[in-house]
């Protein structure tokens, strides 16, 4: 009973501390915390259309988080996932502008092109890591800037709208290249929802029940030991970057053909960076990624009501998310120290006996 109470308190502590910190921030700017939280809830769940908007954000966030589970399992910080989203959207845009096919055939090809674009860009980061000995964080950040600069070049020059010099985006894709929706005012469709759920389940099964997943875990624990045991470490690391990039590219494809229906400079919407926080808050466990991603999507969409209703900046949602992740990490560190002290105490008692 004592252990259960301890685990419950340690599980609730990050949530309580994050809410306290966010509440103090609201009080500091002389805003009502209760009113702010109510407005965020209404902004996320106040109508069917708003719930659909949350799901629109949830899909790419879940795809990116599922991909990051693969690289995190191998001990790799794939910060370049933002660029992989962008390149997925670029490849999808090229196909949407070049090919002319009926929708049932067009959509799968566009999604496949997104996965190819993101996967290839992820493979670049993986190659720099495995063969160039460039740390994946630095390689990923650099590749993100390259991808964004290339997007702006495409929008301003070869894919610019006729007679208009604007960074707002390319021309709209043909209707045959738009993802089908549930109808009405919803911007959400069954294809992207099914895609996000199925890919997350497949990632869970692959990491949990295959030799490939076991080898990735071995690399993440100790790469040298994994190599000495016969694990092809370089190939497995490249495969992790490739598959993570492919899922990020799918997110870019859903953004371009399901949300914006064109290529825009902000096509990634920061979902790659946000997905890193999702995976960290989920404790790197696939079963928790979907609900945590939903919470982040709801916080993002709900906070958009704050400027409209209370003249507050919508960054409050980001403050809540960041504080929650910070306190989860601190709590995990505290639990680890307590566990190590308890183990040392047991060993000391054993030596005395």
Residue among 254, 248, 255 at smallest CA distance from 269: 255
Q: For residue 147, give Cα distances in angstroms to 22, 134, 183.
A: 34, 18, 33
Residue 1 has what pLDDT? 63
- Contact indicator for 281, 169 with CB cutoff of 8 Å: no
**Mean pLDDT in residue range 177-202:** 83
What are the residue boundaries of the structural domains of the chain, listed by start?
A: 54-302
Q: Residues 125-136: pLDDT tens digits?
A: 999 999 999 999
pLDDT band at 353 (very low <50, low <70, confident <90, very high): low
Q: What pTM did the predictor assign?
A: 0.89
Least confident range of 57-66, 125-134, 140-149, 176-185: 176-185
CA separation for the pair 192, 190 (Å, rounded): 6
Residue 255 DSSP symbol: I
CA separation for the pair 181, 222 (Å, rounded): 45
Burial of 94 (0-12, 13-18, 19+ CB in 10 A): middle
Residue 264 DSSP symbol: -
Residue 210 has what pLDDT? 93
Q: Residues 230-272: pLDDT tens digits?
A: 999 999 999 999 999 999 999 999 999 999 999 999 999 889 9
Residue 350 has what pLDDT? 57
Q: Residue 203 is encoded by which pair of tokens?
A: 């990632």
Domain 54-302 has CATH 1.20.1440: no
> What's the 3-state SS for 69-116?
HHHHHCCCCCCCHHHHHHHHHHHHHHHHHHCCCCHHHHHHHHHHHHHH
Residue among 85, 218, 216, 84 at smallest CA distance from 139: 84
The pLDDT mean for the chain works out to: 88
Phi, psi of 301 (to 5 degrees): -70, -40
Q: Which of 39-48, 91-100, 186-195 has the highest mean pLDDT?
A: 91-100
Q: Residue 241 is encoded by which pair of tokens?
A: 């970057």
Q: Is the C-alpha dihedral spanning 246, 273, 60, 155 positive or negative?
A: negative
Residue 337 has what pLDDT? 80
Number of CB atoms found within 10 A of residue 222's CB: 12
Contacts with 216 (C-beta within 8 Å, 6 or more apart), sequence order: 70, 73, 74, 207, 236, 240
């Amino acid at each position: 009973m004592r252990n259960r109470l301890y685990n419950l308190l340690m599980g609730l502590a990050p949530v309580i501390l994050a809410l306290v910190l966010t509440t103090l921030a609201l009080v500091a700017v002389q805003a009502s915390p209760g009113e702010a939280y109510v407005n965020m809830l209404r902004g996320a769940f106040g109508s069917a259309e708003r719930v659909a908007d949350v799901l629109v954000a949830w899909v790419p966030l879940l795809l990116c988080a599922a991909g990051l589970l693969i690289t995190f399992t191998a001990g790799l910080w794939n910060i370049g996932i933002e660029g992989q989203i962008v390149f997925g959207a670029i490849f999808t845009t090229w196909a949407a502008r070049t090919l002319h096919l009926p929708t049932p055939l067009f959509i799968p090809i566009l999604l496949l092109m997104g996965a190819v674009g993101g996967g290839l860009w992820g493979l670049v980061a993986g190659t720099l890591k495995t063969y160039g000995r460039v740390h994946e964080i630095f390689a990923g950040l650099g590749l993100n800037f390259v991808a964004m600069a290339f997007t702006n070049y495409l929008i301003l020059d070869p894919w610019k709208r006729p007679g208009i010099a604007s960074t707002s985006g390319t021309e709209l894709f043909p209707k045959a290249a738009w993802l089908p929706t549930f109808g009405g005012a919803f911007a959400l469709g069954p294809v992207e929802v099914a895609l996000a759920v199925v890919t997350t389940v497949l990632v869970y099964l692959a990491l949990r029940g295959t030799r490939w997943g076991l080898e990735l875990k071995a690399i993440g624990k100790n790469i040298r030991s994994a190599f000495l045991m016969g694990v092809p470490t370089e190939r497995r690391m490249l495969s992790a970057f490739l598959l993570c990039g492919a899922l990020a590219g799918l997110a870019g494809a859903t953004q371009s053909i399901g949300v914006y229906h064109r290529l825009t400079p902000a096509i990634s919407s920061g979902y790659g960076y946000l997905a890193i926080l999702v995976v960290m808050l989920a404790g790197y466990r696939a079963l928790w990624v979907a609900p945590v991603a939903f919470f982040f999507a709801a916080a993002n969409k709900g906070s958009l009501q704050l400027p409209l209703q209370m003249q507050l900046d919508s960054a409050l949602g980001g403050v809540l998310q960041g504080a929650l992740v910070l306190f989860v990490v601190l709590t995990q560190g505290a639990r680890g120290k307590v566990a190590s002290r308890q183990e040392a105490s047991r060993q000391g008692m054993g030596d005395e006996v």
